Each structure stands twice: as structure tokens, then as C-alpha cells.
Amino acid sequence: MRLRLLRRRLTVMAPRVAIRSTLPWPVRWLFAAMMLGICATVGLWTFELGRDIAGLDRSTHDELAALRSDAAQLRAERDRLQRDASAAGSLLTAQQATQDRLLVQIRQLESDNRSLRDDLGFFEALIPSSGSADVAIRGLQAEVLDGGQLRWQVLVMQPVKNAPEFKGRLELTVAGTQDGQPWSMALPGGPQPMHLRQYRRLEGVFGLPARAVVKNVSVRVMDGAAVRATQSLAL
């Protein structure tokens, strides 16, 4: 009999058994949530207590304040360096502009110096070795330019110190050929009035007739009807 009961319990013929909880599921969920909240609260309280005991919160605030102070100092130093860099850039630009102006002035002075040296050499070459009380013509120059023009230059001087002022006129004559025939012409506009005490340089440019070939240029210094000096130049 017992064997039959045991076999019935162990086989598919055994009666079904259902186990039911005495608590409904909403109550179980609420209980679980309360337990989780209590555990989280206890864990957070434990963490805060440990941090206060170790002094981590106070040191963190101090380090944060120190870092903020360092950052402010670094920003101030950066701003100061930027201002210094801007001032240095402006100063460098001004110095460069000044240097460029000085270079232009130096080149101009060098050009003027060369011109003065050329004039000085020209005048020194024209001063005679022996003094003369009369008017003299020195350094007659002439050249035919492109376009049928003649450029001329002459220096008239009194090669003595404290010479009286001379008043006269300068006559210039150009001679050569035109179309194979002899040709000559005077200075356009007539003789040039002139007055000098030590020296005076006269120059000019004038046009030549078509097909004219210049072979000779001559100048005369006139004092009234008297010829005081004359000079010719062959081209």
C-alpha cells in the first residue's frame, strides 16, 4: 500500500500542487523599492562620512581655489604679454618706416654729393694756372641730341679775386651744312645778357633745322661792341 502511494506521487499520476504567496505583488515591489532606497541612502551616507573623515572635500575646495587663482594670474600675464607684443610691433613698424626714410635721404644726399663733386671738378679744371684780369671762357660743351636738338654749356669767369662786376652779353653761333650747302645760325632769341663777378655758367637747348649737320659751335662774350672773349668747339 505504501509502495503504491509512493509510486503515485512520483509518477505523472501524482496530484498537482500550487504554491501561492501570502503577500500580493504590489506589496512585494514596494518592499523591494524601500530596501533599495535604504541601501542607497546608507551607501551615500557612508561615502560622505568617509570623505569628511579623510578631509578630501576641504582639500578639493582649496585646490580648486588655488587653481582659479593661478588661472587668473596666467590670464593677467597673458594680457600683459599681448600688450607688450603689440607695443613692440608698433615700435618695430615705426622704426622700419624711419629707417626707410633715412635710406631715401641718404641716397638723395649721396646723389647731391656726387653732383657737387662733379661741379667742383668741372670748375677746378677750368681755373687757369696764371691769373688774368680779363673775362675768360672755359669749358665750352655742346652735343647734338636725338630729335634734332643741340644742348650747349659754357662757363664764363673772371679769374681774379675781388673782380669788379662785369655786364655784357653772350653770343653763340652754330655752323655746318644743310642739304650739302654751308649753313650757320645764331642762338635763338638773340644774345643772352649776362653779368658776373667771379663766374657764371650758362646753358640751354634749342632745335636745329631739318637735315642740318652741326660741325662747329663758337661763343663770344661781348662788352658793348668789344669782344672780351671767344672760343670755338668742333663737333
Give the CATH number, domain containing residue 168.
2.60.40.10
0.85 cut: is pTM over it? no
The answer to whether residue 205 is domain-embedded is yes
The answer to whether residue 217 is domain-embedded is yes
The predicted pLDDT at position 173 comes to 93
DSSP string of 62-105, one letter each residue = HHHHHHHHHHHHHHHHHHHHHHHHHHHHHHHHHHHHHHHHHHHH
The answer to whether residue 213 is domain-embedded is yes
Nearest-angstrom CA–CA distance, 185 and 216: 11
Beta-strand runs (E) in the chain: 136-145, 149-157, 166-178, 181-186, 192-196, 199-207, 212-223, 226-234
**Any idea what DSSP says for residue 15?**
P
Q: How many domains does the chain fold into?
A: 1
The answer to whether residue 160 is domain-embedded is yes
Nearest-angstrom CA–CA distance, 113 and 231: 30
The answer to whether residue 58 is domain-embedded is no
Structural domain that includes position 206: 136-234
The answer to whether residue 73 is domain-embedded is no
Q: In Å, how far are 38, 168, 218, 219 from 229, measured between CA atoms? A: 133, 11, 11, 8
Neighbours of 172 (CB within 10 A): 22
Pick from 200, 187, 191, 194: nearest CA to 126: 200
Q: What is the pLDDT along the chain (235 residues), one digit of tens a residue?
A: 555 655 555 555 555 555 555 566 666 777 777 777 787 777 777 766 666 655 555 566 677 788 888 888 888 888 888 888 888 888 888 888 888 888 888 888 888 888 777 766 666 555 554 444 578 888 789 999 888 899 999 988 887 777 788 889 999 999 999 988 999 999 888 899 988 888 888 899 999 998 889 999 999 999 888 999 999 999 8
The predicted pLDDT at position 130 comes to 46
The predicted pLDDT at position 59 comes to 60
Are the beta carbons of 230 and 220 closer than 8 angstroms? yes
Nearest-angstrom CA–CA distance, 206 and 29: 123
The answer to whether residue 97 is domain-embedded is no
**Any idea what DSSP says for residue 129?**
S
The answer to whether residue 226 is domain-embedded is yes
The predicted pLDDT at position 129 comes to 45
